[in-house]
Amino acid sequence: MLCGKRIVVVLPAYRAAKTLHSTWESLPKETVDATLLVDDASDDATVKTAQAIGIRTFVHRANLGYGANQKTCYREALQAQADVIVMLHPDYQYEPRLVTPMAGMIASGVYDVVLGSRILGGTALKGKMPLYKYVSNRFLTAIQNALLGAKLSEYHTGYRAFSRTVIESLPLLANSDDFLFDNQMITQAIAFGFRVGEISCPTKYFPEASSINFRRSFVYGLGVLATSIMYRLWRWGWLRPRIFSQRPTLRLNPDYYDSPTGQQSPPGDEQSSLPQDLR
């Protein structure tokens, strides 16, 4: 705990068997109250590795996508009575030891959202981020800062911390089930007036670290531009997108899901799936 707040780390996993143990070993156990892993129907030993470590694991019965994985992560974190939720990729690309300062920035009441930035301190290039990813990151961030009226160093990091209030308030069920989910979530946090802070985060790029290819990166970039334009049109009152809706049914309610059915999962696992109408 930090400042009397319960800290829960969520790991959205897909084919993370080779890096999960290293990620787990580097987590600050003295700070983290619970660690939850959601496996998106990996075809490797991710689940077995998580079981061997002792991480509480939830398994999607089919591959639902990165965004859908996070929806399950946050729903289960709410069920686990989290006050602060830290989302960390289990591919060991980001520094797990930063969970403590990131969670502390929220537990102290200073921020509602904290991003682990690969740009602050020049850590992206030091960690050998591919040049095309770095250039596109800087380009998209500049456009988003202009359209959203913010001054973040980047919007595309996969390392984030949130207060419970943020997770309960944002219409996350309106978001994409794919990689665009991340960017939509930050945009929503800004739209809803939450305080967003950043911390410099060392990163490393290596063969086992997860990464999307150029084609999917291009599609993601188009989605980022569309999200930013929608935000500006919404601010002007010209558009009413679902991702900025106040409807309670678009928020993550831990009880607003069908009970899992199907084959019994291995000991230590729990089946998880989103009903069709919420995807």
What's 227's domain CATH number? 3.90.550.10
Q: Is residue 126 part of a domain?
A: yes
Split into its structural domains, the chain has a count of: 1
Range of the domain at 23: 7-244
pLDDT per residue as tens digits for the range 21-51: 999 999 999 999 999 999 999 999 999 999 9
Query: Which of 79, 85, 82, 76 has its CA nearest to residue 9?
Result: 85
Q: Is residue 118 part of a domain?
A: yes
Grade residue 210 by pLDDT with cuts at 50, 70 and 90. low
Q: Is residue 266 part of a domain?
A: no
Question: DSSP label at 217?
Answer: H
Residue 37: CB partners within 8 Å, gap ≥ 6?
A: 10, 11, 13, 20, 46, 50, 55, 56, 57, 58, 90
Q: Is residue 269 part of a domain?
A: no
Q: Is residue 145 part of a domain?
A: yes
Residue 275 is predicted with a pLDDT of: 35
Q: Is residue 259 part of a domain?
A: no
Q: CA dihedral defined by 3, 160, 170, 147, rounded to 10 degrees? A: 130
pLDDT per residue as tens digits for the range 54-113: 999 999 999 999 999 999 999 999 999 999 999 999 999 999 999 999 999 999 999 999
